[in-house]
Amino acid sequence: MRTDLFPPIDPHRTGTLTRGLHRIYWEECGTPDGIPVVFLHGGPGAGASPTHRRFFDPAAYRIILFDQRGCGRSRPSAEVRDNSTQELIGDIEALRAELGVDRWLVFGGSWGSTLALAYGQAHPDRCLGFILRGIFLGRQTEIEWFLTGMRQIFPDAWQDFIAALPADAQGDLSWETLLAAYYRRLTHPDPAVHLPAAHAWSQFETRASTLLPAPDLPQEPNAATLAISRLEAHYFVHRIFLEDGQLLAQVGRIRRLPCTIVQGRYDIVCPAVSAYDLKQAWPEADLVMVPDAGHAALEPGIRAALVRATERYKLDLASLVAP
């Protein structure tokens, strides 16, 4: 079974979905008559990239990608107004209706796994199944881990993360105080304040995202680093706009659907315990624990497991969408 990414492809159709003050970019690749799959990117705020198209066989899948509110090619960039989990769920459902999709496979990694679960539980009858990577369940313990727990593994990166705050904000380093201090800076209107904070946040996350040192650390603050940093902090401040433990408690709504969970054993950003907890709540799901990987989707073992999953679902789901 194939384990390499498919060759690069271009979209054959693109568009913009207007939802209030947000204009949401979307694109379609692959075959129009194929198995519909929607790709939910991470972050929040990371945006979709051309590489994300390549997890799917373009001869078999109708590949649909979009940039969530406030990031990528969607506008306005880095906008926190009208930006919540519930509004993103509404965007996914509006896009499904706009494109005339009855049901689709939902593919999401990291924050995308959170959103995939939340969307699926809200609209189970619109889902064919799930491929999830680097599980983040949006629990307070996971937010706390990101802000202070990762220090146990990456003390040097965490020290640089703290050093980006002014001295008077470095006294109380509880996760809540640290988050509040960063959020004030990330949402400050002056680029001289919010861009350095965005750069520090993005560097901290990137340094912790791979098993081996990441060769492509963000070098300068820009619109992309601001979007991911500001939106992540925004969602953390609002506890992901979900009740603590909600996604596990409501997994019964989607247990009848097939699911593959791909998790790096040494994922520091989204530790493996969340994938394990999801598997305990969803025993029918397949859990693939990659023994030599961290968090990033393009680490070799993660990438191979994701492609194997899309190849397997290509066969399993073909009859469900046949004309």
Task: Please list the active-site residues.
Answer: 110, 267, 295
| Cα 6 to Cα 23: distance, rounded to the nearest angstrom | 29
Query: Which of 311, 286, 145, 40 shows the shortest CA–CA distance to 275?
Result: 286
| Helices vs strands, H then E, count in the chain | 10, 8
Strand partners, 29: 63
Phi-psi group of 38: left, alpha or beta (phi > 0 → left; psi -120 to 50 → alpha; rest → beta):
beta
37 in the Ramachandran plot: left (φ > 0), alpha (ψ -120 to 50) or beta?
beta
Q: Omega of the bond prior to 258 within 30 degrees of 0, cis?
A: no
Is 119:92 a contact under the CB 8 Å cutoff?
A: yes
Q: How far apart are CA 40 and CA 113, in angstroms?
A: 8
Please count the residues of the chain.
323
